Amino acid sequence: MKHLWQQTRSFPPAVRLLMANQFAINLAFYMLMPYLAAHLSGELGLAAWAVGLVLGVRNFSQQGMFLIGGTLADRFGYKAPILAGCLLRTAGFGLLGWVDSLPALIAASAATGFAGALFNPAVRAYLAAEAGERRVDAFATFNVYYQAGMLLGPLVGLALLAADFRLVCTVAAAIFAALTLLQWRALPARRGATVDTGSVPDGVLAQWRTVVANRPFLLFATAMIGSYVLTFQVYLALPLAAGDALGSRGTMATSGLFVVSATVAVLGQLRLTGWAKRRWSPADALVRGLAAMGLAFLPLALTPPGAASAVLVSLVAAVVLLAAGSAVVYPFEMDTVVALSGDRLVATHYGFYNTVSGLGITVGNLVTGALWDFAERHDALWLTWCTLTITGLASAASVAALARRGRLATREPQLAPA
């Protein structure tokens, strides 16, 4: 904790505020969202399809709108989308606890999702701009606060849930209201670095064409899809494996896996980043981190399916290695996005990057789920784990190939197209 405090204090006030902001955002989000499905199906009595629709709308309105949020941040500055996102999530979370009709729930869910699409690219672009040459360290420290909010959120939500789900929603909304006020008062207005008088192209389509024409960036975003598919298995394949091996105890084991994952990130992020910076280039750190994420699933492929204790040990090992690999990758990944953007339209690049990742997660989940069903029918769960391992290694090989060809070098700032 002392190291974290010293590292945090070494950054400018705006960066420190953004880190505290992200902790509170995740605290409020994860104190509510894990329990929303149970509230919709239990207390409100919605059918399963309606619950899926409400949750799906939230995911689509965030993942599908990241590009819009990043575009707005580059056109109007970073502060406005951050404030708008926090204010919108205040309203969305407040509504989720007090409405019971399906149209109102869909509207509230869409508001909470679009709020994330507004402030996520803006926060990361703001952080990159303020941190300057210390971007890797800033993103590493930022991820500690991010993961800490994920770790504490469900625990706070569970405690409040003992009283009432409406209390959970009200407290979460109050946190976002306080964040809105705090950032309105204390967060300085900030725009991206201006490399020329025409730094922001005229028109939204011109912004998007600039990003789409950035071939090294597109190749990097495509190569990194595998890392997001692997990270999401904490929500999909690993809980399925826990339930398959442990039965009714699988839910408790899954909760434990979430805690282990967040704890590894909180306690190990700064140490792993410092260790990687001393030994490897950014590209090497990305390649090794991605390889570790892929290899995290190999112990499960070698574990007999019926041995509950062995499966549990392999699940913990997989989560630890997956979290450690992700902790190595994340700060260098975020820094590479800025480098490939040429420090121009950074928020739009982040928005596009997150949209590509979101689409990759959706397709990856469909493929992983179908593969799991096939493997389970044929008593060959090892096939799922081997496929995930290959996915990680393929992602690492793709990034390594881009580095060898010089595609990960910092781009020189370019003039806006006429």
The beta strands (E) that lie in 351-391 are given as none
- The residues, any chain, with a CB within 8 Å of residue 385's CB and separated by 6 or more, are 237, 297, 298, 300, 301
Domain boundary among 130, 155, 189: 189
Domain identity same for 78 and 226: no
Residue with tokens 């009432």: 164
Domain identity same for 274 and 392: yes
Give this prediction's pTM: 0.89
Alpha helix stretches (DSSP H) within 213-281 = 215-223, 225-231, 237-246, 250-279
Which residues constitute the domain of residue 381? 204-408
Q: What count of residues does the chain have?
A: 418
Residue with tokens 């039965």: 247
Domain identity same for 181 and 298: no
The per-residue pLDDT string of the chain (418 residues; one tens digit each, 9 = 90 and over) reads: 778 888 999 999 999 999 999 999 999 999 998 888 888 888 888 887 888 888 888 888 888 899 999 999 999 999 999 999 999 999 999 999 889 899 999 999 999 999 999 999 999 999 999 998 899 999 999 999 999 999 999 889 889 988 889 999 999 999 999 999 999 999 998 887 644 445 566 688 888 999 999 999 999 999 999 999 999 898 888 988 888 888 877 778 888 888 899 999 999 999 999 999 999 999 999 999 999 999 999 999 999 877 888 999 999 999 999 999 999 999 999 999 999 999 889 999 999 999 999 888 888 888 998 999 999 898 899 999 999 999 999 999 999 999 999 888 654 444 334 3
Number of domains in the chain: 2
Give how far Cα 385 sits from Cα of 90, 234, 377, 380, Å. 40, 13, 15, 10
Exposed, middle or buried by CB within 10 Å (0-12, 13-18, 19+), for 94? buried
Q: Residue 43 is which amino acid?
A: E
Question: Tell me, what's the pLDDT at 200?
Answer: 61
CATH number at residue 144: 1.20.1250.20
Phi, psi of 49, rounded to the nearest 5 degrees? -65, -35
Domain boundary among 189, 224, 249: 189
Domain identity same for 180 and 215: no
Domain identity same for 214 and 81: no
User: Is the distance from CB of 174 to CB of 377 less than 8 angstroms?
Assistant: no
* Domain contains 125: yes
Domain identity same for 238 and 378: yes
- The residues, any chain, with a CB within 8 Å of residue 369's CB and separated by 6 or more, are 236
Which of 200, 332, 316 has its CA nearest to residue 259? Answer: 316
Neighbour count for residue 294 (Cβ, 10 Å): 24
State both tokens at 29.
């989000």
Question: Tell me, what's the pLDDT at 199?
Answer: 56
User: Is the distance from CB of 168 to CB of 160 less than 8 angstroms?
Assistant: yes
Domain identity same for 162 and 208: no
